[in-house]
Chains A and B, each alone.
Chain A
Amino acid sequence: QPQLQESGSGLLKPSQTMSLTCAVSGVSVGSGTYSWSWIRQPPGKGLQWIGYVFPGGVTYYNPSLKSRATISLDTSENRFSLELTSVTAADTAVYFCARGDGLGETWFDPWGHGILVTVSS
């Protein structure tokens, strides 16, 4: 089973850009049919899918976040990243990275441990 580990800035001010990275071990992000996804969970609330990227760089996003989110692959470092622009307090959440399986109707397994990102002035 591959392992995923999130890292990045944990505290941001409103209007700043969030940058998170997910380091992957045990499988290459640049090959195969798996996708690489970001999912978030506001404190005490449910899960929200942000988007995913396939080997080759094709991306799909949650329509509600599409204008602000960018997910990219770094095959040389075997990792993938999330940038979310113009953050507000509503973006405060635990951000998980996960491997996606199943072309089209995708499920997620495994997940990283998650990283808490707080947006506060």
Chain B
Amino acid sequence: SYDLTQPPSVSVSPGQTASITCSGDKLGDKYTFWYQQKPGQSPVLVVYRDTKRPSGISERFSGSNSGNTATLTITGTQTMDEADYYCQAWDSPSGVVFGGGTRLTVL
């Protein structure tokens, strides 16, 4: 099976840049997607196809993907960005695979 590895937690000070990584074998050859999930809510797509931002998502969210690592970057982090973030990719024959999630703390 295909595995995606994320750090369990990342901390950042308000106004600074947060980087959340997602690692997998030859991940750069696949598309990576990122979701934000706040407590008690359903996930929201924040980046798709490595770098694209859905309508309505802040420009502070950006993504990159190369080699074995994809990265979600949040610039000018705000307290409202505090959430769990999940990466996702597709692999044959595993199908859709999610990373274990990263809790972003803004303090």
Question: A48 and B42: CB pair below 8 A?
Answer: no
Number of A residues, CB within 8 Å of B? 25
Stretch among A26-34, A70-78, A83-91, A102-110 lining the B interface:
A102-110
Would you call B78 an interface residue if the criterion is a C-beta within 8 Å of the partner chain's C-beta atoms? no
For residue A88, give the distance in angstroms from its CB to the closest CB of chain B: 20
Which of A46, A104, A107 is the one whose CB lies under 8 Å from B48? A107
A47 x B95 contact (CB < 8 A): no
- Total residue contacts A-B, CB cutoff 8 A: 66
Q: In the complex, what residues of B have CB within 8 A of residue A112's CB?
A: 42
Q: Chain A binding site: helix, strand, loop or mixed by DSSP?
A: strand
- Given the complex, which residues of A lie within 8 Å of B98, measured CB to CB? 46-49
Contact between chains at A105 and B31 (CB < 8 Å): yes
**Interface size in chain B (residues, C-beta < 8 A):** 26
Measured between C-beta atoms, what is the minimum distance from A66 to chain B in Å? 9
Given A102-B49, A106-B90, A107-B88: A49 and B44 within 8 A (CB)? Answer: no
Residues of B within 8 A of A37 (CB): 96
Contact call A49/B42, Cβ cutoff below 8 A: no
For residue A107, which residues in chain B have a CB less than 8 angstroms away from its CB? 31, 33, 45, 48-49, 88
Pairwise interchain contact B97-A46, C-beta atoms closer than 8 A: no
On whether the beta carbons of A63 and B42 are closer than 8 Å, the reply is: no
Q: How far is the CA of A113 from the CA of B43 in the complex (A)?
A: 9
Could you tell me if A104 and B90 are in contact, using CB atoms closer than 8 angstroms?
yes
Knowing A46-B100, A47-B86, say if A108 contacts B45 (CB, 8 Å).
yes
B89 A105 Cβ-Cβ under 8 A: yes
Chain A residues, Cβ within 8 Å of B42: 96, 111-114
Q: A residues 41-58 with Cβ under 8 Å of B?
A: 46-49, 51-52
B 63-95 to A, binary, CB cutoff 8 A, 1 in contact else 0:
000000000000000000000001011100111
Choose one: A60, A108, A109, A110; the contact of B95 (CB below 8 Å). Answer: A60
* Closest 3 pairs (CB-CB, A-B): A49-B96, A109-B45, A111-B42
